[in-house]
Amino acid sequence: MISRRELLLMGLLSPFVSYTGWSYQGARGLYVADVVQKGDKLVYQLVVRKGKVRVGDQWGEFFLPGGTVPGPLLRLKEGMWAHIVIYNETDEPISVHWHGIILPNSMDGVPYLTAPPIPPGGSFKVEFPVQQYGTYFYHSHVGLQEQAGFYGPLIIDPAEREPFSYKREYVVVLSDWTPLSPHKVMALLKKQSNYFQNNRLTLMDLLKDAQQRGLWEALAFRLMWARMRMSPTDILDVTGSTYTYLMNGHTPQENWTAIFKPGERIRLRFINASAMTYFDVRIPGLSMKVVAADGLYVEPVEVDEIRIGVAERYDVIVEPKEEKAYTIIAEAMDRSGYARGTLAPRPGMTGPLPPTRTPPVRTSHSHEHHHHHHHMDPCQDCPVHKGPYPFGPTADMVVQNPVCMLDQVGVGLEDAEHRVLTYQQLRSLQRKDFLTKDPDRVLEVHLTGNMEKFIWRMWVYDGKSWSWDPTHFIKVRRGELVRIVFVNHTMMDHPVHLHGMFMYLRNGYDEYAPAKDTINIKSGEKVCVDVLADAPGYWAFHCHLLYHMHTGMMRVLEVVG
């Protein structure tokens, strides 16, 4: 009998080593970090280097935790202690943030806010009691290092028996890589925000559109978008025109492969570690049973496709029955490219690639699309301040009547002829009694954007005044139950991440609301969450689209006491 752990190791060890000859040789592929157990401590050493790695026929400069991209898999155990020593062997300051992990504020890895960055040649010892289980990841929180490969998976084995069983498991890290330096990408976006978007609409599209809705209506629709200085094809800012999408560090051509025996139940832990890419994940021919969201168990839901926002994680169980290769495809939301791998009974097999789908276009109706009125509106307790709003030129547009869209699949998936996961379906397996209480405080978070200038903001309204400046901390008292109402006034979706505490998504399941660390807020949507502010300190609260965070879509939630 081979243990699950050994199987995991076998499945993960698929090296694609590249040699540069003159600088540090980085490797691509998911490796498992060496661990030493000392009593109730799991001890890791994480050496971070800079190096060159070949991707396809291009070379890239990477930040390489453990010498690889992605960084090595760190595995912890609920109830034990994590001791992770980080060594900075690069020539720049670095930090490591433990995404979704409940830990002391000083260990959170946000430079200057929770601890100074680790200087070149320096080291930092991260220590925290492991109080949770599930699928997480770690990444740099310094500058744009995350875009350059500074991320890796973090898995925590539960103290108690899991509510489902499986024979093997695979970690699937999805990411986006560009041969451009991240600072070049930033500069290009600042200069021309649609620089990477190739899907501009043409005269042909207009004529097709006019056939369907009449010429004047089609023209008016285009004019509306032009006046807003936007395009209905603004789906992702940075696209497959520069990105190569990676699965466990491998390009679609390299076809990362996971082995199964027909009839086995396989657990896949999907982690979206990309800088800017929403992935739509499918395994044609297999349904996926979602068993955990952002690490924590949910009531199982059978679906055929999952949209995974940046920094979100989903655990699924699949049961391939046939002796054949199944393709794992993670398409970028704008269809400009994909990451790809294969589930196969033997190495070397290739599953068929599903046909490319047409790029989504935001329509004038997309905000009402598929909106059904339930008896219970899950957003009924999410009050939103009715303008006027102080956004000024930081907002291209203002959504007057944001819509609750928890039961919607998202732009481009409306017409999918299979089951797509929605937030409405996520129900926690763990009851939290405090979620039935009235909140002690309500905060509104209004997401705004100026596309032309590439300025992004998180405006906060606390019932009295507005603020947007990231150096203006949002203060709450320790122990308060804080309701946060998000409104997305932009044409893009934003995955908003809160450090240090869970956000309980108010989707109608009350005390069984799912706990998430990253909440996707669709264009035009309002969503609300409850946060039990039980962790004192300064917690970063930001859009996880790297270049949005970098240009202002970031705040700090200070828990006082």
- List binders of Cu ion among 145-204 (CB under 5 A): none
Cβ nearer to Cu ion, comparing 484 with 553: 553
Cβ nearer to Cu ion, comparing 30 with 310: 310
Report the amino acid identity of residue 30.
Answer: L
Stretch that binds Cu ion, among 140-148, 311-319, 471-479, 550-558 (CB under 5 A): 550-558
Cβ nearer to Cu ion, comparing 406 with 554: 554
Q: Which two tokens stand for residue 206?
A: 């207009």
Which one among 545, 554, 556, 557 touches Cu ion, defined by CB under 5 A? 545
Q: How far is the CB of 488 from Cu ion (least distance, A)?
A: 9
Cβ nearer to Cu ion, comparing 50 with 457: 457
Stretch that binds Cu ion, among 171-179, 195-203, 432-440, 552-560 (CB under 5 A): 552-560
Q: What is the number of H-type helices and E-type strands within the chain?
A: 5, 35
Give the pairing type, strands 481-488 and 441-450: parallel
The residues near 514 (Cβ < 8 Å, ≥ 6 apart) are 293, 294, 296, 298, 423, 426, 427, 428, 504, 505, 507
Q: How far apart are CA 486 and CA 460, in angstroms?
A: 9
Phi, psi values for residue 48, rounded to 5°:
-105, 125
Cβ nearer to Cu ion, comparing 99 with 548: 548
Q: How far is the CB of 236 from Cu ion (least distance, A)?
A: 11
Q: How far is the CB of 235 from Cu ion (least distance, A)?
A: 13
Buried b (16+ CB within 10 A) or exposed e, 11-40: bbebebebeeeeeebbbbbbbbbeeeeeee
**Locus of tokens 């999408």:** 245
- List binders of Cu ion among 295-324 (CB under 5 A): none
Buried b (16+ CB within 10 A) or exposed e, 220-242: ebbeebeeeebbbbbbbbbbbeb
Stretch that binds Cu ion, among 89-97, 267-275, 335-343, 549-557 (CB under 5 A): 549-557
CB-based contact 458:486 (threshold 8 Å)? no
Q: How far is the CB of 47 from Cu ion (least distance, A)?
A: 32
Burial class (CB in 10 A: 0-12, 13-18, 19+), 347: exposed
Cβ nearer to Cu ion, comparing 95 with 490: 490
Q: How far apart are CA 362 and CA 178, in angstroms?
A: 26
Helix (H, G, I), strand (E, B) or coil at 118: strand
Q: How far is the CB of 246 from Cu ion (least distance, A)?
A: 21
Distances (CA, A) of 267 to 31, 133, 165, 258: 18, 15, 9, 11
Cβ nearer to Cu ion, comparing 236 with 421: 236
Residue 269 makes contact with Cu ion by CB under 5 A: no
Which one among 282, 548, 550, 555 touches Cu ion, defined by CB under 5 A? 548
Stretch that binds Cu ion, among 282-290, 332-340, 374-382, 547-555 (CB under 5 A): 547-555
Q: How far is the CB of 397 from Cu ion (least distance, A)?
A: 15
Cβ nearer to Cu ion, comparing 494 with 555: 494
Q: How far is the CB of 3 from Cu ion (least distance, A)?
A: 41
Q: How far is the CB of 447 from Cu ion (least distance, A)?
A: 7
Stretch that binds Cu ion, among 32-40, 52-60, 184-192, 553-561 (CB under 5 A): 553-561
- List binders of Cu ion among 105-134 (CB under 5 A): none
Report the amino acid identity of residue 147.
Answer: Q
Stretch that binds Cu ion, among 38-46, 153-161, 468-476, 540-548 (CB under 5 A): 540-548
CB-based contact 449:455 (threshold 8 Å)? yes
CB-based contact 475:523 (threshold 8 Å)? no
Cβ nearer to Cu ion, comparing 97 with 489: 489
Residue 543 makes contact with Cu ion by CB under 5 A: yes
Cβ nearer to Cu ion, comparing 88 with 450: 450
Count of residues touching Cu ion (by CB under 5 A): 5
CB-based contact 436:511 (threshold 8 Å)? yes
Stretch that binds Cu ion, among 54-62, 77-85, 256-264, 541-549 (CB under 5 A): 541-549
Q: How far apart are CA 396 and CA 51, in angstroms?
A: 40
Q: How far apart are CA 137 and CA 173, in angstroms?
A: 9
Cβ nearer to Cu ion, comparing 271 with 545: 545
Cβ nearer to Cu ion, comparing 75 with 548: 548
27 forms beta bridges with: 17, 68
Q: How far is the CB of 176 from Cu ion (least distance, A)?
A: 15
Phi-psi map region of 98: left, alpha, beta (phi>0 left; psi -120 to 50 alpha): beta
Q: How far is the CB of 189 from Cu ion (least distance, A)?
A: 12
Cβ nearer to Cu ion, comparing 513 with 545: 545
Q: How far is the CB of 494 from Cu ion (least distance, A)?
A: 3
Stretch that binds Cu ion, among 23-31, 52-60, 62-70, 546-554 (CB under 5 A): 546-554
CA 288 to chain centre: 19
Phi, psi values for residue 486, rounded to 5°:
-95, 140
- List binders of Cu ion among 478-497 (CB under 5 A): 494
Cβ nearer to Cu ion, comparing 435 with 529: 529
Task: Report DSSP state, residue 386.
Answer: -
Helix-strand-coil split of the chain, %, nearest 5: 10, 40, 50
Q: How far is the CB of 542 from Cu ion (least distance, A)?
A: 8
Stretch that binds Cu ion, among 2-10, 75-83, 309-317, 539-547 (CB under 5 A): 539-547
Q: How far is the CB of 446 from Cu ion (least distance, A)?
A: 13
Strands of the 441-450 sheet, one edge to the other: 466-467, 455-461, 441-450, 481-488, 526-532, 503-505, 515-516
Q: How far is the CB of 553 from Cu ion (least distance, A)?
A: 5
Interacting residues with Cu ion (CB under 5 A): 494, 543, 545, 548, 553
